[in-house]
Amino acid sequence: MKQEFSTKWVSSKQPRRQRKYRHNAPLHVRSRFLNAHLSKGLREKYKTRSLRVRTGDEVEIMRGSFAGKKAKITSVDVKRTRVVLEGITRGKKDGSKVNVFFDPSNLTIFTVNSDDRKRFAMSEEKTKEKK
């Protein structure tokens, strides 16, 4: 099996090929894996189903032992495709606290960080294309 990333790859039913695609993807492609669903109110407002998560967005956790909790995103790791949330920690046996990492697919965005104007310019262009 080749180790290089192929831009021609479309899809496969085989989980090993899907894992290989995600593992070997370059950073500009990995950033596409950082999308999370929008809440129903934001879906109607932005006319899109999902957005890329950014630091400062408020999200609700949909899966796992922390399901139902709402928190603000403190950091996004593009290389490892994971997100750290404010105040969501797990205790270790020695009593110290450790951040819990989340996959963006297990989160729903409730409040969008509106500091970056380009973020909304891109979403407005997409809505114009859909019309």
Compute the mean pLDDT over every residue in the chain, rounded to the nearest whole number.
89
**Locate tokens 């894996």: which residue?**
33
- Indicate if the pLDDT at residue 22 is higher than 60: yes
* C-beta atoms surrounding 109 within 10 Å: 25
What is d(CA 46, CA 97) in angstroms, rounded to the nearest whole number? 37
30-77: pLDDT as tens digits: 998 999 999 999 999 888 999 999 999 999 999 999 999 999 999 999
- Asked whether residue 97 is assigned to any structural domain, the reply reads yes
- Asked whether residue 44 is assigned to any structural domain, the reply reads yes
Taking the whole predicted model, whether its pTM rises above 0.85 is answered as no
Which residues have CB under 8 Å from 66's CB, separation 6+? 88, 100
- Asked whether residue 95 is assigned to any structural domain, the reply reads yes
Domain range for 123 is 15-130
CATH at 51 = 2.30.30.30
The pLDDT of residue 131 is 63
How many domains does the chain contain in total?
1
- Asked whether residue 90 is assigned to any structural domain, the reply reads yes
Decide the pairing of beta strands 107-111 and 35-38: parallel
